[in-house]
Amino acid sequence: MARLATSYVKDPYSEVLFSIAKGEQIEYQTVIKGLDNMDQFEYEAVVVEANNEVDQTQIPKSIRTAGAQTVLDVRVPEDRGVWVSTDMYSAGDLVSYGQDTFYVLKSGVDYINDVIPSNDDNWVEVPSNVIYVQIPATLASDWAIQPTVSSPCYGFFELRVSEMPGTFFTHTWKPIRGTIRIFFSPTDVVPDV
């Protein structure tokens, strides 16, 4: 089994990991070093509300007591093995083509094309150990302090990776953690048309 690479960070909350405008809905490509067969693990990504203050100028160093907790969706590409020109693929499918080269299909359902992935704009080359963390448009909507024009608000993010249950001793790693900075957004406050 592949082991997850670890590194020591003195203060993981001293830097911003993600920076978004309130109301954005974004999917972040995340590479988990040291793992293979990504569909054989369980993933949990969460954001907890930081102890934000009105007009703050620094990243908070603690979480809000009884603050909001958000579980984020994690999408793992479906590993379809070696690319075959006559097979049908759907958006999000992962294939290998060539020596240690992997591609994810950007869009489509029942997609068939005899153009090799490296020459087909609908395929994107990715590392084999990629997953996607999805930030919903509703993130921070229920937080006590909202971002203002002059002051963002923050949450703390963490990704947990675990072996599937049933092993003798289930390993769990927490390879990514840090802060999410959320900026004020005019389109978030104006009602949708």
What are the tens digits of pLDDT across the range 53-65? 999 999 999 999 9
Q: Is 7 among the domain residues?
A: no
Q: What is the DSSP string of 46-96?
A: EEEEB---TT--S--SSBPTT--EEEEEEE--EEEEE--TTS-B-TTEEEE
What average pLDDT does the structure give for the chain? 89
- Of residues 37 and 79, the one with the higher pLDDT is 79
Q: pLDDT-derived band of residue 6, with 50, 70 and 90 as boundaries?
A: very low
Put simply, whether the predicted model's pTM sits higher than 0.85 gets the answer no
Q: Is 89 among the domain residues?
A: yes
Q: Is the pLDDT of residue 46 over 60?
A: yes
Q: Is 101 among the domain residues?
A: yes
Q: Is the pLDDT of residue 4 over 50?
A: no
Which structural domain range is residue 152 located in? 16-185
Give the full edge-to-edge strand order of the sheet including 26-31: 16-21, 172-183, 153-163, 41-49, 69-75, 130-135, 26-31
Residue 179 CA: distances (Å) to CA of 6, 21, 170: 19, 14, 27
Provide the number of structural domains found in the chain: 1
Q: Is the pLDDT of residue 119 over 90?
A: yes
Q: Is 10 among the domain residues?
A: no
Give yes or no for a contact between 74 and 132, defined as CB atoms under 8 angstroms apart: yes
Q: Is the pLDDT of residue 123 over 50?
A: yes
The position carrying tokens 């909507």 is 141
- Reported in sequence order, the residue ranges of the chain that DSSP labels E, i.e. its strands, are 16-21, 26-31, 41-49, 69-75, 78-82, 93-96, 102-105, 123-126, 130-135, 153-163, 172-183
Q: What percent of the chain has pLDDT above 70?
A: 92
Give yes or no for a contact between 38 and 77, defined as CB atoms under 8 angstroms apart: yes
Q: pLDDT-derived band of residue 15, with 50, 70 and 90 as boundaries?
A: low
- Per-residue pLDDT averaged across 108-112, rounded? 92
Interval 86-103: pLDDT, tens? 999 999 999 999 888 999
Q: Is 191 among the domain residues?
A: no
Q: Is 1 among the domain residues?
A: no
- Per-residue pLDDT averaged across 11-37, rounded? 82
Q: What percent of the chain has pLDDT above 90?
A: 72
Q: Is the pLDDT of residue 3 over 50?
A: no
Interval 141-185: pLDDT, tens? 999 999 999 999 999 999 999 998 877 888 899 999 999 999 999
Q: Is 107 among the domain residues?
A: yes
Q: Is 129 among the domain residues?
A: yes
The position carrying tokens 């769990």 is 172
Rounded distance between C-alpha atoms, residue 179 and residue 144, angstroms? 17
User: Which pLDDT value is given to residue 169?
Assistant: 86
